[in-house]
Amino acid sequence: MGGSYAAIADDATAAYWNPAGLGGLNHSEASFMHSSLFGLDSFDFFNYVQPLGNNGTFGLSWLRVGVDDIFHTVVQGSSGVSTKNRPEIKERFSNVDNAFFLSHGRNLTFDVPLGGGNKRRMELLVGANLKFIYTTSYKRNALGLGGDCGILWERRLGDQNNANRFAVGITAQDFFRTKLFWNTPPELPNQPSNTDTIMPNLKIGVSYLQYIDALKSRVLISVDTDSRYSFEMHYGLEYLFLDLLALRIGLQEKKGVETFRDVTAGAGLWLAFARGAAFAVDYAFVSSDLGNSNRVSLMTRF
């Protein structure tokens, strides 16, 4: 879906995309995702969410991004590299970022005055993450604490269960400038310890769900924008047939000195069982100038 999920966030992965979406869940869910990024590093995500009635839904998540088996090479003596003095592998190490999420989302219901004594019942999903971050790089490490918050509003365009829907989602990631405190000593005496700052990101998304009764299917369109460094757009399209087979395509922007646009494509299989239980498996392919990525995810609802 090109990374455009802030206004969808209707499963356990809402803890990552928009924690407000957790407030709309009424079943326990667990999800796992693994992705190889550009053939170099790996991206893993695992989480579990548990609804607790009127207290909303709580979730625990673990995210890992890392490059493993990095060679630390040395050269003997001080003569430099030559055909007779080649670098030798001294050891191997990993460069890893770990993030642990404690999430909560709930559904707020309230009446909005329309004038003339009339009111409209409104529902708004709200949620937040508390994030603990642990980073290792060779023999150094850093600790950080951050937070996300989000809202998700949905409007049904009808009264039946399969009514078309329009939704708006907003996620403020690292909204108080998450700081990472490294254990590296300062360069000069009396200087503070070295720190890195993760800049805030405001993610705004809209989505529209259209049912096609004649084909027993539905189409979901979503658009997101990120604003951490510049406005980057994300577009997604999903076609779901018989609540069983999903086909997806997307486009995501990455801006820097140049603007890159990566195409994403994937498919998913959704198996529903009695009493709301379900199992899903998804595959996604992401093209990039740096190399292609493959992503596999599993989700179970019980």
In this predicted model, what pLDDT tens digit does every residue of 182-205 receive, in sequence order? 988 777 777 777 899 999 999 999
Topology of domain 14-72+87-301 in CATH is Porin (2.40.160)
pTM above threshold 0.85: yes
- Token pair in block for residue 93: 């190490």
Please determine, for residue 161, whether its predicted confidence score (pLDDT) is greater than 90.
no
**8-state DSSP, 85:** B
- Average pLDDT value for the chain: 90
Q: Are 104 and 19 in contact (CB under 8 A)?
A: yes
The whole-number pLDDT of residue 87 equals 78
Give the amino acid at 41. D
Nearest residue to 296 (alpha-carbon basis) of 44, 28, 39: 44
Mean pLDDT, residues 109-116: 80
For the chain, the C-alpha Rg in angstroms (whole number) is: 23
State the pLDDT confidence band at 139, using cuts at 50, 70 and 90. confident
What average pLDDT does the segment 81-102 reach?
84
pLDDT tens digit string along 200-257?
999 999 999 999 988 889 999 999 999 887 889 999 999 999 989 999 999 998 876 6
Considering only residues 76 and 100, tell me which one the structure prediction assigns the higher pLDDT: 100
Longest CA span, the chain: 91
- The residue assigned the tokens 């499963």 is 11
Locate 28 and state its tokens: 């326990």
The pLDDT of residue 39: 66
Q: So what's the pLDDT on residue 222?
A: 98
pLDDT at residue 163 tops 90: no
Instruction: Write the Ramachandran bin of 26: left for phi over 0, alpha for psi from -120 to 50, otherwise beta.
Output: alpha
Listed as own residue / partner, the contacts of 230-233 with beta carbons closer than 8 Å and 24 or more positions apart are 230/255, 231/255
Q: What pLDDT shows up at residue 257?
A: 65
Tokens in use for 240? 């779901």
All structural domains of the chain with their residue ranges = 14-72+87-301
| Whole-number Å distance between alpha carbons of 96 and 285 | 23
What confidence score (pLDDT) does residue 295 get?
Answer: 93
Average pLDDT over residues 13-24: 97
